[in-house]
Structure 1
Amino acid sequence: EEYGFGLDGVLRRRRDVLYGVINGIEYDRWSPEIDPYIHAHYHHRDLRGKALCKKDLLSKINLDVAKNTPVMAFIGRLATQKGVDLLVDNMDRLFRLGVVLVVLGTGDERYERLLMDKQSRYPDVLYVDFEFNESLAHKIYAGADMMLMPSRYEPCGLVQLISLRYGTIPVARSTGGLTDSIEDFDPLKKTGTGFLFDDYNGSAFLECVKRAIVVFTVKSSWHRIMREAMLRDFSWNASARQYLQIYQEAVKRRHEHKG
């Protein structure tokens, strides 16, 4: 109801004939196996290049930290919809967890000013860039360990799809397309492709980050999540197949109705 924009009742009544198809991404542009912008190529069977990309990213942004430090990233519009208020308001507590954060995005000038202030306070663990840079974006997707997506709402989203493709694990709020495309990590089954939280507040966000960090310290578990994430198919071919199924179902129903 919160995100129905007045159509919630209609959508619920017609839910038996409504289907959702999430976006796809261009695999010839977003692929760690062939990406021309990144320092080393890698794939789900051989993740060694990921560590080299992390080292290259930190070198490019002039951050000197221990190699086992979790590198988190945020890529996107600096807007309340993307949860930037949640990120900025809890940044002090976030850095007490011993992480590095890389922010690439443009948007609300208020958030830009707040982030610049935070960078002046945490120059050794925070890097911000307010101008879109294609090369840097690719390096971040390949070099970061986790992608923060604390969105207030997210109709679909592309950042998490690209992140999964690069084995950069999303830490995201469970809303909209993020819920549809990220499987929350199950510590008992050891399955999942990311870490999700429900409530839009700092405590829920930070607890989710802590969950991710705990698993990150166990490399075998983390590599398992990375491989599972990279194996998920979010290509436009997959989206096209879903569209085809919907059209085929529509034709089938039409024939049955005529009959």
Structure 2
Amino acid sequence: MYVLHVCSELFPLLKTGGLADVVGSMPAAQIAQGANVRVLLPGFPAIKAGVPDAQIVTTMDTFAGRIALRFGFYQGVGVYIIDAPHLYDRPGSPYHDQNLYAYQDNHRRFALLGWMGAELASGCDPYWRPEVVHAHDWHAGLACAYLAARGRPSRSVFTVHNLAYQGMFSASHLDELHIPRDFFQMHGLEFHGQISFLKAGLFYADRITTVSPTYAREITQPAYGYGMEGLLQQRAWEGRLVGILNGVDEAIWDPATDKLITSHYDRDNLKAKADNKRQLQSAMGLEVDPRKPIFAVVSRLTSQKGLDLALEALPTLLEGGGQLVLLGAGDAILQDAFLAAAAEYPGQVGVQIGYHEAFSHRIMAGADVIMVPSRFEPCGLTQLYGLKYGTLPLVRHTGGLADTVTDCALENLADGSASGFVFSESNAADLSNAIRRAFVLWTRPNLWRYVQRQAMAKDFSWHAASKQYLELYRHI
């Protein structure tokens, strides 16, 4: 099975969110199961620097100018790079400049990504040609449309990592991007008079996947569908929409081998976790006290993540004797609010604005509870890392959070399925009640350790997920 993943990020070379973690792990897992897998990426500086020996496969003139297609290997995975400095060699994130303004030519930059996916499916590399093109999120959505326009030289899968980001651009770009005119309609990639890269993937892909079964159901509802629910209901009825849970890369996220944490531990030897807790309390300026549970947040600071609810529930957390650690960046109002809380409650609240991969590992190893109070969450990797590290997740019952965390209700404690704390309503009162339940369990150390061990025993590796994807590829 020859498979090409088309995406905009790849961990650890370039990461702005969970997409990079997924694409950084899935191809290697599929290769381990016998597939011939490669990845196509834009030639962002960090990508080119990470694959310095990539050789030119071909050069060509495209609607976005003259480009070179390079190929090399990164950690055993074949990587195609679209070498187009006039499009990709810029400061800032892949999507916007240093002032957070989206690049004016993003339509061209990411249409080219989809176009080159279709070029590879059409044989532009004479030595390798994919049978399946697997496109990820709106950045790669046009790959499915271009394949359809060329008579489907390969089959296509489109994965929605987050439906909220849709890649909307003016219809005036239609001819420039070589999109067939008859594709611009309701039964196509038109959405409210604009070109939707996301809808291109949803409409033209042979199969659509989301990153959890619950999210696959949720996005067929108006509350989560962002106007695409009608199309997604149709795809679900046709049997073309499926949810497959993301996995955890155990070569990176494993407290028994993690080189970024203070002390290693596993489910049979949890004592060393206390060393990581002491280090975290000290590093964040908190009172060093093993009796105080640390509630942690590692997240983008956005409304989606429900962190305004965490601020509202902070008095409950602190009055119960807990401490809060936060690592993240995003919305300026949320950033300022958490920094103000750290100033108001020294020794109880520690905040670091920004994102540092190494420090996220140290938080995961040192905290007692990892909070993910999201309003919606397609899958979520943070709670999976928490389970792996015996840092009990406190999550809202939505998307992948609902699929992966089981509340510490009495019946779940009795049958051994309990792995964290789950609340239902997206409000501070329900979150506060979940925090109180965490404190109740904390007062019973033996029971807490029992739940930790149950959580750490759960298998969310990429082995099972990659097997499901390969079965899907074979089916189409």
Query: TM-score, normalised to structure 1's length?
Result: 0.91
What corresponds to 1:55 in structure 2?
Answer: 278
SS, match of residue 468 in structure 2: helix
What corresponds to 1:127 in structure 2?
Answer: 350
More helix by share: 1
CA-CA distance at 1:70 after TM superposition: 0.8
CA-CA distance at 1:15 after TM superposition: 4.9
What corresponds to 1:241 in structure 2?
Answer: 467
- 1:25-64 deviations in Å (ceiling 9; x for gaps): 2111111000111111111111111112111211222322
What corresponds to 2:425 in structure 1?
Answer: 199
Matches within 5 A, 1:5-84: 5-12=226-233, 14-15=236-237, 17=239, 18-84=241-307
SS, match of residue 153 in structure 1: coil
Which residue of the other structure, out of 398, 416, 435, is the alignment partner of 1:209? Answer: 435
Q: Could you tell me how far apart the structure 2 residues matched to 1:122 and 1:45 are?
A: 35
What corresponds to 2:309 in structure 1?
Answer: 86
SS, match of residue 262 in structure 2: coil
* RMSD of Structure 2 on Structure 1 (CA): 1.7
Q: Give the unaligned 5+ runs of structure 2.
A: 1-220
Q: Could you tell me how far apart the structure 1 residues matched to 2:316 and 2:442 are?
A: 18
- Bigger relative contact order (CA 8 A; separation at least 6): 1
Which residue of the other structure, out of 199, 207, 225, is the alignment partner of 1:4? Answer: 225
8 A Cα contact 2:326 2:352, kept in partner: yes
CA-CA distance at 1:181 after TM superposition: 1.4
Matches within 5 A, 1:166-181: 166-181=389-404
Cα distance change, pair 58–239 in 1 and its aligned pair in 2 (3 A): same
SS, match of residue 132 in structure 1: coil
- The code of the aligned residue for 1:231 comes to A
Q: Aligned pairs, how many?
A: 250
Percent identity reads 37
Q: Could you tell me how far apart the structure 2 residues matched to 1:105 and 1:15 are?
A: 39
- The code of the aligned residue for 1:127 comes to G
CA-CA distance at 1:9 after TM superposition: 4.1
Which residue of the other structure, out of 221, 244, 257, is the alignment partner of 2:447? Answer: 221
More strand by share: 2
Q: Could you tell me how far apart the structure 1 residues matched to 2:345 and 2:270 are?
A: 30
Cα distance change, pair 247–60 in 1 and its aligned pair in 2 (3 A): same
Q: Give the unaligned 5+ runs of structure 1.
A: 252-259
SS, match of residue 105 in structure 1: strand
- The code of the aligned residue for 2:449 comes to H
SS, match of residue 177 in structure 1: helix
Query: TM-score, normalised to structure 2's length?
Result: 0.50
Q: Could you tell me how far apart the structure 2 residues matched to 1:230 and 1:32 are?
A: 10
Q: Could you tell me how far apart the structure 2 residues matched to 1:208 and 1:15 are?
A: 36
